[in-house]
Amino acid sequence: MNNKAVVITGASSGLGVEFAKQFAGRNFDLVLTARSENKLNELARELEGKHGINVHIVPLDLSRSGSAKKLYEAVKALEVTAEILINNAGFGLFGEFEDTEMQKELDMIEVNITALTELTKYFGKDMVARKSGKILNVASTAAFQPGPLMAVYYATKAYVLSLSEALANEWNDSGVKVAALCPGATETGFSNTAELGQSKLFQSGVMQADEVVAQAVKSLLETNKTVIVPGFKNKMLANSIRFMPRKMVTSVVRKVQERI
């Protein structure tokens, strides 16, 4: 298998579309996965026509158990080498824990944690064996503190950050790079899915998806950073939290997350 490609999950909207566009602009072949086959087909046609690359689509719902293994096997069947894995798929849910829907939170854990872990394991083992590859796991500035009113989401992103930092250390000498992207509030479809549109967090200024992805791709390809925090305000937030008492941090997050 000589054809190298970038595998991108959650590729039909938001950051996923931007990752596809920006890697295509760098002449990478792509394997795109998401639930919406129509959106994937449309994006594939656009990128192949504009950049002359090969784009494969694998429609899957990563909240379904076993889907991560199906994606890995589909990539193998395509006879392409996953040189870069972008674990971008994920979603959130806003509300007090006793009121939020259990199934949505279990699906969130399946996508944000379980599928991400499986894909990192499957593709990561191959990368270690050939001593080449890069994995970018999309976490969030939510990973740095507890998140009242989005308790499960914040916890999933803390897991993603912790896993990524640990594997970056384990695979440091293997030729495989692992990094975590930790964006703050970003203009994507995320706030609608998470029912966050009226929260103070998303009313206080957000980054554009193309800005976030541009910084992420540049850092992944050109630096040795393990934790990528795009945007000055987000960097300040991530760094300042380390010096604040945990109870204070939790209270501040609660106030920021509340609906206006």
Output the pLDDT for position 236: 78
Token duo for residue 57:
């689509």
DSSP β-bridge partners for residue 81: 4
In the chain, where the domains are located: 4-257
| pLDDT of 195 over the 60 cut | no
Integer Cα distance of 248 and 252 in angstroms: 6
Q: If you average pLDDT over residues 139-150, what whole number do you get?
A: 94
Strands 133-138 and 176-181: parallel
Encoded amino acid at 190, one letter: F
| pLDDT of 242 over the 80 cut | no
The percentage of residues in the chain with a pLDDT greater than 70, rounded to a whole number, is 89
- Under a CB-based contact definition with an 8 Å cutoff, are residues 148 and 257 in contact? yes
| pLDDT of 147 over the 90 cut | yes
Per the prediction, the chain carries an average pLDDT of 91
What's the pTM? 0.89
Q: Could you name the CATH architecture of 4-257? A: 3-Layer(aba) Sandwich (3.40)
Catalytic residue ranges: 153, 157
Output the pLDDT for position 205: 62
Output the pLDDT for position 1: 41
Band (pLDDT 50/70/90 cuts) for residue 237 is: confident
Output the pLDDT for position 206: 87
Got the DSSP string for 16-85? HHHHHHHHHHTT-EEEEE-S-HHHHHHHHHHHHHHH---EEE----TTSTTHHHHHHHHHHHTT-EEEEE
| pLDDT of 209 over the 90 cut | yes
Query: pLDDT for 39-92, tens place per residue?
Result: 999 999 999 999 999 999 999 999 999 999 999 999 999 999 999 999 999 999
